[in-house]
Structure 1
Amino acid sequence: MLVVHHLELSQSERIVWLCEELELEYELRRYERRADNRLAPEVYKALHPMGIAPVVSVDDLVLGESAAICEYINVRFGGGRLAPPPSDPDYPGHLFWFHWSNATFMATKMMELALALGGGDAGTVPFVAERSARARDLIERRLGEAPYFGGRELTLADIMMVYALTTSRAFSGAPIDHLPNTRVYLRRIGARAAYKRAMAKAEPGMEPMID
């Protein structure tokens, strides 16, 4: 049995959504953040040596890291259907956005968060501010060219990207009013039945941050 260990308001939301898109049978175990510092509880940290979300387990296997989990579940349980084949013209774009999400976009957002936690302002650090602006521009341009990050159809690239554009804003409060293509895209995602089911299970009582 596939077990998804979901830490509230975290990247493990992606895995719940993936399972719902693939209509898989899985067990969801939800963990609340600590009240004192809003970090993961010790029981969650003990699941994997890195001590961070997401984590899934299948029999004796315990696997961490969003992209690795997405690929594993899509191939093992989903028949690979949320990734285009190499012969598809959307394949390079899918690959780029799938990897760019955490390798560049979330890394930049984590720099912003670290500066904020230290009492700094990312806007005053040119390297971070410029990197963040380029990322937003790149996202807007892509979503003006294609309905999904992966191209014509929803792929694992979208599963990876959406958290960084939605729930992660619960920590930063960053507005997206100035990003019209992004807002149209997120409304498209928010209308998906699988996304609605996933968010109701992962973050009960929370309105998805699609606007």
Structure 2
Amino acid sequence: MTITVHHLNNSRSQRVLWLLEELGLPYEIKHYKRDPKTMLAPPALKAVHPLGKSPVITDGDATLAESGAIIEYLLDRYGEGRLRPAAGAPERLRFTYWLHFAEGSAMNPLLMKLVFNRILNAPMPFFAKPIARSIAVKVLDGFVHPNIRAQLDYMEAELAKTEWFAGPEFSAADIQMSFPLEAAAHRAGLDDSRPRLWGFLQRIHARPAYHRALERGGPYDYARE
């Protein structure tokens, strides 16, 4: 069987390529490009999965979406104990927590920031723009930005406890956490004022498997701090 990654440029599917490279597994890539105006995935992805989003993998008769589910599937089927703490180890609970925190908590305010920033810059009738701008600024300043700062402060403090998110060893939880932190560096103010998170980005970007995934996946803007 050959694993096929249905890969959308500048998306969460880059993490799946990176995981496969870390595991040394053979895989194929089917590339998809975002619509340059809407930045949405093309309709062709709906032929693979009804929601038409990435990442999606196919492996034999299995078709699987959602980054966390894909990571767990690949580790269960092909991991052979790699990139995940052993069941029952104290680090296993941290692994599970961060694997789900990445999408369940970290990405929500980052996505809201993206949406409301687009509202600020969207073309609209002159009489509507002050109203839309006022609403967007209030949501950003009153909710989105404080939540992003709180989460970044929390993650910074957690990395003071362990070198990697799950513990002393690099794991797939770090792969999962890469996207929200790269997105935060790209558009939400994460910089070297939070040295542990910034150092985390430097370390993952130096990994050979990360570079191999970039070479195969193509342009990925979030890799630039």
Using the size of structure 1 for normalisation, the TM-score is 0.90
* Partner residue, 2:214: 199
- Alignment-derived partner of residue 9 in structure 2: 8
Matched pairs, number: 209
1:124-163 map, 5 Å: 124-163=140-179
Which shows bigger deviation, 71-80 or 3-12?
71-80
CA distance in 1, matches of 2:185, 2:32: 20
Query: Residue 41 of structure 2 aligns to a residue in which SS?
Result: coil
Give the whole-Å Cα distance in 1 for the aligned partners of 2:119 and 2:97.
Answer: 32
Q: 2:182 aligns with which of 162, 166, 169?
A: 166
| Cα RMSD for the two superposed structures | 2.1
AA in 2 matched with 1:160: Q
Asked which structure has the greater CA Rg, the reply is 2
Alpha-carbon distance change, 139 to 45 in structure 1, aligned in 2, over 3 angstroms: same
Offset, 1:142? 1.6
C-alpha distance in 2 between matches for 1:68 and 1:57: 13
Deviation at 1:60, TM superposition (A): 2.2
Equivalence for 1:36: 37
Does structure 1 retain, via aligned residues, the 8 Å contact 2:98–2:173? Answer: yes
Letter in 2 for 1:20: E
Large movers: runs of 4+ above 3 Å = 121-125, 167-170, 204-207
The structure in which a higher percent of residues are helix is: 2
Distance 1:16 1:124 in 2: 33
User: Could you tell which deviates more after superposition, 57-66 or 15-24?
Assistant: 57-66
- Structure 2 residues not aligned, in runs of 5+: 121-135
C-alpha distance in 2 between matches for 1:87 and 1:66: 23
Question: Which residue of structure 1 aligns with residue 131 of structure 2?
Answer: none
- SS of 2:204's equivalent in the other structure is helix
Quote the offset at 1:127 in angstroms: 3.0
Amino acid at match of 1:96: Y
Q: 2: CA distance between counterparts of 1:39 and 1:22?
A: 30
Counterpart amino acid of 2:155? I
Say whether the 8 Å CA contact 1:9–1:168 is kept in structure 2: no
| Counterpart pick for 1:189 among 162, 180, 204 | 204
Conserved? CA contact 1:115–1:122, under 8 Å: no
Query: Helix, strand or coil: the match of 1:103?
Result: helix
TM-score, normalised relative to structure 2? 0.85
Relative distance call for 1:5 and 1:124 in structure 2 (3 A) is: closer
Report SS of the residue matched to 1:4.
strand
